[in-house]
Structure 1
Amino acid sequence: MAAVTIYQIAERVGLSPKSVSRVLSGKAGLHKPETRERVLQVAAELGYRANSSARAMRRQRFGCVTLLLSSVRQRSVLPAAREDGIQAALAEHDLHLMVAPLPDAKLTDQGFVPRILREYGSDGLLVNYNARIPPRMETLLAEHNLPSVWINVRRESDCVHPDDFDAGRQAAERLLALGHRRIAFVDYTEQNHYSNRDREEGCRRAMTPYGRELRVLRAPAGGNAVLPEAAAREWLRHPERPTAFVAYNAALALPLLYAACGLGLDVPRDLSVITFDQWVDSTLGRRIDTIVLPEYEIGRKAVAMLVQKIEQPLAAQEALALPATLEAGDTCGPPPG
């Protein structure tokens, strides 16, 4: 079946092809609402589909966005919910996605970076590179005014990330409201990411009105980034152990729960644990109390911001810090005694 053209629609509704084209491209400001509705109705009845290639040529656009990642997976963590949000928003804007995992040598190459959009046939960049970011890469993207939005990076502008400070505050306030005062923040990760600092500081600030200090438990210098059960058991055996733990992520919460089980401690009767993640973990048959990060919305908002950057590459977009939400589970209760 031959493709339906704007000329066929124009003949059916009694308008010029130019007027129909303006309506279908969203530029129908000079036409009455009923005229616009009639054009769209006829287009739908005839099965009209816009020629995306021709439209891209007219607008000098590719209709594609590149998701820029590090070739080192740990530097570009991409939660499934975030990717789903990106894909959903791109579909709404009739855009396609190109995924580009690149080594630092490429991302700091003076000859490559200015050509990156043309190399990948893209109109803009979603930069999901959030650990050990090469400074030269940031400089090159800025110097050449490449439409870019940073994901899960806290910058002055052109970025979308969770409000990790508020997330930390929520975690501590959940425990404080239950009566806990001996609270520890557990962070065995090796990364130097803003979220490590913000979650810890959010917890600390929440405890200040109670006149209590936040204990911080970290890996020893040169230690493993994975919390060993042996270390968790050592903390839990201490006579003045915390009654509640805020784990930087779910991977750190699980060893605490395993260790508690091994020592015969009941969670949440003897010990409370809360963490941060894109969803609630129930690996051990119980739902961990979780500050759920807005990963899906981060993906959606990043695309929306990039669309604005593509339209106005020189205009800085206001940084967005999206709120997280508490999902109560089975691992938090009042302190023992």
Structure 2
Amino acid sequence: MKHNFGAGPGILPHEVLKQAAEAVVDLNGIGLSLLEISHRSAEFEAVLDEAVKLVKELLEVPEGYSVLFLQGGASTQFAMVPQNLLPSTGKAAYLDSGVWASKALKEAKYFGEVDVIATSKESNYTYIPKDYTIPTDAAYFHITSNNTIYGTQLHEFPKSPIPMVADMSSDIFSRKFNVADFGLIYAGAQKNMGPAGTTLVIVKDEILGKVDRKIPSMYNYQTQIEGGSMYNTPPVFAIYVSMLTLRWLKSKGGVEAIAQENKAKSKALYTEIDRNPLFKPVCAVEDRSDMNVCFVMENPEHEKPFLKLCDERGIVGVKGHRSVGGFRASIYNALPITSVHALIDVMQEFQEKNK
């Protein structure tokens, strides 16, 4: 058995993979593969409708918001957000808490002025910036809710006087939050929702249509809303698997139930990191992520033998990002707590062998 701690594309529920595999051969007994039916067919329209309905139900999306399944990953949203929301003579405010936040603000600079209101870059993003003021004259305020590379997470969202935009790619559906506090939320599917290939966007309708530039159709949220996420051929398979994953999440009790499981998983792993003298954390305690647990060895020479032992015990995907080094255990929704305990067992076994 493999225990998949990969940072993304991340682990998916086994039952979802099984259903998706069956649909690739024959979707719901219609005699055709999911991959060969028309995206305009009644069968796929039912899939898309259910996916949108589940997003609204699981996240309690209020009236006045549109739910889209787009292409291009979260990285395309780095440009689409300012293209649609930032007037050419206006400015946007960004919180720089990691590589992805930095990439997002870099893209925004192509469309207008960017005010980086706080950053933790000087410490290699080991904490979430605090004690900042959100400017009231900016078009929007952009945050990244969870930083996969550095293992930090915003555990409380700021109250913003202007529309707040959030990249939630790595912790969407992992905890409860109030959608009404945000103007726009986007998330690549490949962490907690499905396979790579589609990106969830939840946008407050009233914030759109206020910029003075012409926006190409594919990059215009209003065009995508009018087309029902089908202005062009959508990523059929990725949306179908996302729909199955959302069904699975609902069957487990929804976001509130999975949040309790996620807390139990992260608490168990952080407790072992703090207890085991061979390992140490890399980020501020108050900002530790419940999705991506990053840690290093006290003795760097232990890294390779520990990774070797992990491989022997079926622990995969724990090698840390090159920006931080060490290890990163991504404990997304579909990862069972038994896998976390399996990793803890390997950490304790390694300690016994290196007393």
TM-score normalised to the size of structure 1? 0.30
Q: Which has the higher contact order (CA 8 A, sep 6+)?
A: 2
Larger Rg: 1
